[in-house]
């Protein structure tokens, strides 16, 4: 059974930093890209960042230069280092299992964690 468990959320002051982690199990982690998606209170889904199986990284413009995504394939863990946090970064952050390369016909964005809440406030 695929499981994704996020951790590391909490209350932080504007300008502060947090490091989120996502522990993955139930699938061959290093074969898959992974994504971080956030949801501000009462709002829709916003893709934040992704990393593919080769380690290539991608960011939304809203977080570029402030957030850094990484993965530890030996520990089946996805990380998101968030610096220079702003009030508008307040959201539930979800990790999601993304695509497999090469595409062998499997679904993508098929499993999501329960999310971890990040609140940026003074």
CB-CB contact of 115 with 6 (8 Å):
yes
CB-CB contact of 97 with 2 (8 Å):
yes
Q: Which stretch binds other proteins (CB under 8 A): 10-18, 19-27, 72-80, 98-106?
A: 98-106
Among 69, 89, 91, 111, binds other proteins (CB under 8 A): 111
Q: Is 110 near other proteins (CB under 8 A)? A: yes
Q: Is 103 near other proteins (CB under 8 A)? A: yes
Size of the site for other proteins (CB under 8 A): 25
The tokens for 105 are 């016909």
Q: Is 118 near other proteins (CB under 8 A)? A: no
Q: What is the rounded distance in angstroms from the CA atom of residue 98 to the CA atom of residue 76?
A: 14
Give whichever of 72 and 110 is closer to other proteins, judged by the CB atom: 110
CA distances 58 to 64, 81, 119, Å, are: 9, 14, 23
**Rg over CA atoms, the chain:** 14
Site string for other proteins, 27-66 (x = CB under 8 A): --------x-x------xxxx--x-------xxxx-----
CB-CB contact of 100 with 118 (8 Å):
no
Specify the 3-state DSSP secondary structure of 64.
Answer: coil
Among 69, 94, 118, 120, binds other proteins (CB under 8 A): 94
Q: Which residues bind other proteins (CB under 8 A)?
A: 35, 37, 44-47, 50, 58-61, 94, 96, 98-99, 103, 107-115
């Amino acid at each position: 059974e695929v499981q994704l468990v996020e951790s590391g959320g909490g209350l932080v002051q504007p300008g502060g930093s947090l490091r989120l982690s996502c522990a993955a199990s139930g699938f061959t982690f290093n074969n898959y890209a992974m994504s971080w998606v956030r949801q501000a209170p009462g709002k829709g889904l916003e893709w934040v960042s992704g990393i593919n199986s080769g380690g290539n990284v991608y960011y939304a413009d809203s977080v570029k230069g402030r957030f850094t995504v990484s993965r530890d394939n030996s520990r089946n863990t996805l990380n998101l280092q968030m610096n220079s946090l702003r009030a508008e970064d307040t959201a539930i952050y979800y990790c999601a299992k993304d695509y497999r390369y090469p595409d062998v016909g499997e679904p993508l964005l098929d499993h999501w964690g329960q999310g971890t809440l990040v609140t940026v406030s003074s």
